[in-house]
Amino acid sequence: MKQANKKNRKRKSSKRKTSLFQIIALITIGIALIFLAAQPNFSKRSAKKDSQKLEIPFTKEGELSFISKQNNSTIKTIDIEIAEGLAETAQGLMYRYSMSDQQGMLFIMDIEKTQDFWMKETYISLDIIYVNSNFEIVRIHERAVPLSEQNIPSIKKAKYVVEVIGGFCDKFDIEEGDIMNFKRTQ
């Protein structure tokens, strides 16, 4: 009889522990669901605030012209920012949310070699124009996909890289073999 009472007490105690465990588990799951339901709105607001803080304004540092290989005439002249050195080159056009077809960025590389660029943290589509040390356009990659981390290779050796708004080369008939020249204004 004493053993039967002990078994009954253990069962009741075990059932209470199980019930208490189930209640705690349900409360924890409920809190987690509430947190997950609220998080997308919180993340969107935080990301929007962060991205607004990080946007970098355009600063004119020079002018760049594209010259036709056919007749040596100027096709288009734009205002440029100039990126030199590792830090400026790594930053590039990251955290930009708009750019006109009157603007671009010129990267001046330390040495002429095959170059690889990507679109990490770049929110606008770009045409990426690779230019050799003779100022000849050797490769154009049109409409690079925003935020992509895929390498965009020059294939041929390049000393300069020009980034302009996506569709620029089509709009102004810029082609491989055309010439680029630039001058600093600052």
Best CA proximity match to 126, nearest among 167, 156, 180: 167
The model's confidence at residue 51, banded by pLDDT at 50, 70 and 90, is: very low
Give the pLDDT confidence score for residue 43 in this predicted structure.
47
- Say how far apart CA 177 and CA 180 lie, in whole Å: 10
Query: Which position has the higher pLDDT, 41 or 105?
Result: 105
Q: Residue holding tokens 């300069």?
A: 160
Query: Quick check: 37 pLDDT over 80?
Result: no
What number does CATH give the domain 62-184? 2.60.120.1140
Per-residue pLDDT, averaged over 102-112, amounts to 97
Exposure string of 29-44, with b = 16+ CB inside 10 Å and e = fewer, is eeeeeeeeeeeeeeee
Best CA proximity match to 174, nearest among 103, 69, 63: 69
**Residue-range domain boundaries for the chain:** 1-54, 62-184
Enter the pTM of the model.
Answer: 0.71
Mean pLDDT rounded to a whole number for the chain: 85
Structure tokens of 177? 């073999």
Give the pLDDT confidence score for residue 12 in this predicted structure.
54
Per-residue pLDDT, averaged over 144-160, amounts to 96
Query: Quick check: 36 pLDDT over 80?
Result: no
Query: Quick check: 147 pLDDT over 60?
Result: yes
